[in-house]
Amino acid sequence: MPFMKINIPESEQQRIVIVGGGFAGITLALKLAKSNFQVVLIDKNNYHQFQPLFYQVAMAGLEPSSIVFPFRKLFHKYKNVYIRVTEVTGVDPEKKQLQTPLGIVNYDHLVIATGVDTNYYGNEKLARLAIPMKSVSEALYLRNKILSDLEKALVTTDYEERQGFIDIVVVGGGPTGVEVTGALAEMKKYILPKDYPELNTKEIDIYLIQSAPQLLKGMSEEASNKSLEFLTRLGVKVKLNTRVTDYDGQIVTMNDGTCIQAGKVIWAAGITGLIFPGLPDSCITYGNRLKVDRQCRVEGVDNIFALGDIAYMEEEAYAKGHPQVAQVAMQQAKFLARFLKNKPKGKAEEKFTYKDLGSMATIGRHLAVVDLPRWKFQGAFAWLVWLFVHLFQILGVKNRVFILLNWVWNYVTYDQSLRLIIRPHIPKNAAEKVEMTDKTKE
């Protein structure tokens, strides 16, 4: 355990430490940036990632730089905001300290906005072999894997072996699963015949496996039915009421006894909270989330709050907690910023109430579903609404312009220009240094 303190200037201001730079973390930090607090933002990356568009990076529709934004650029005008790139390894609520590989961080108020990770439900083989979609690096890995396997398929004469390279199974029928399979189907239809004329693209099978009886479980029945219709029209083989039980890297086995040969399984079937050690077990609940009250305070500990996907809050309209979506995270962050500013003034505590602004998912060109509180619609107009909403949620004017240009180009040409296989390379001397360091540690 580290005993050295991280070098953060001491101040008379109260220190609010935010762990996690997702939608909740950056929204809270921005809202507190001009207040009389010292704000410390901790994240293992030095950038914010726009998770809803990971699948477009994986499908070579967008460059990863278009959907990330550096923290330091976001906060360089604010002198009371400090960024530290590290991971939190533990917390001591009594001492009000966080432990990190860089040292200890003291806090007056701690805000946990760590989000969630992929949940494989205890299946170690799936955890080892399936491909998740929870970061830009994972999206890039999937892009490389798809393109590399297509190159291998070109020189594979055996039909069964070739199927392992070109068939893809997506597990999970939520927004991520639906959007990934739709993008794959469009790639198969519009892109691959031009890039790989020697390959019979009719051999490519794309499967979507969903354990529930419908897709987009959290959305309306109309959205669920339309998404199934759109995916079927694109040629996706959807299997409902089916659960993946095993995968050995080549064969996907399901609970009904059927098997699919596929060298790639994309896992979008479940999530689990990212909690670091030190918090009492009593505050951890279903989905590895933290129980919080209506002021976002973690139950059983003082001066610790939780926001977004990691927070489990019950209110009258959401007896089983809020949906784990970006709108909840941002609304909670805005609420908590007001709460922390008003607390020293002795104002009466208000309760957080989630305002549902709607949900949406896109399946392909002119194919999307949108559920608004008073209006539900599908098809081309829904697709335009989806594009507009996501474009204006992106951080940075330059990123918005680049994404818009990419979308317009893709729409006009039915093509993407980013199908590059970029593999990480470690120089030989750097690899030798790493090996020597590991031996010294031993």
**For the residues of 260-276, what is the DSSP string, one character each?**
EE-SEEEE-S-EEE---
Over residues 103-114, mean pLDDT: 97
**For the residues of 390-441, what is the DSSP string, one character each?**
HHHHSSSHHHHHHHHHHHHHHHHHS--S----------HHHHHHHHHHHHHH
Q: Which CATH class, in words, describes the domain spanning 14-118+272-345?
A: alpha beta
Q: Does domain 124-269 have CATH number 3.50.50.100?
A: yes
Of the pLDDT bands very low, low, confident and very high (cuts 50, 70, 90), residue 366 is very high
Q: Give tens-digit pLDDT for 183-233.
A: 999 999 999 999 999 999 999 999 999 999 999 988 999 999 999 999 999
Kindly state the tokens that stand for 203.
């051999």
Best CA proximity match to 71, nearest among 86, 57, 82: 82
Who wins on pLDDT, 434 or 164? 164
pLDDT at 97: 96
Residue 429 has pLDDT above 70, yes or no: no
Give the side-chain half-sphere CA count within 13 A for 307. 30
Per-domain boundaries in the chain: 14-118+272-345, 124-269
Q: Give tens-digit pLDDT for 386-416.
A: 999 999 999 989 999 999 998 998 888 878 7
pLDDT at 439: 46
Work out the percent of the chain whose per-residue pLDDT is above 70.
95
Residue 438 has pLDDT above 90, yes or no: no
pLDDT at 225: 96
pLDDT at 437: 47
Partners of 237 in the β-ladder: 207
Of the pLDDT bands very low, low, confident and very high (cuts 50, 70, 90), residue 5 is confident
Rg of the chain over Cα atoms, rounded to whole angstroms, equals 23
Query: Please, what is the average pLDDT of the chain?
Result: 92
Residue 435 has pLDDT above 60, yes or no: no
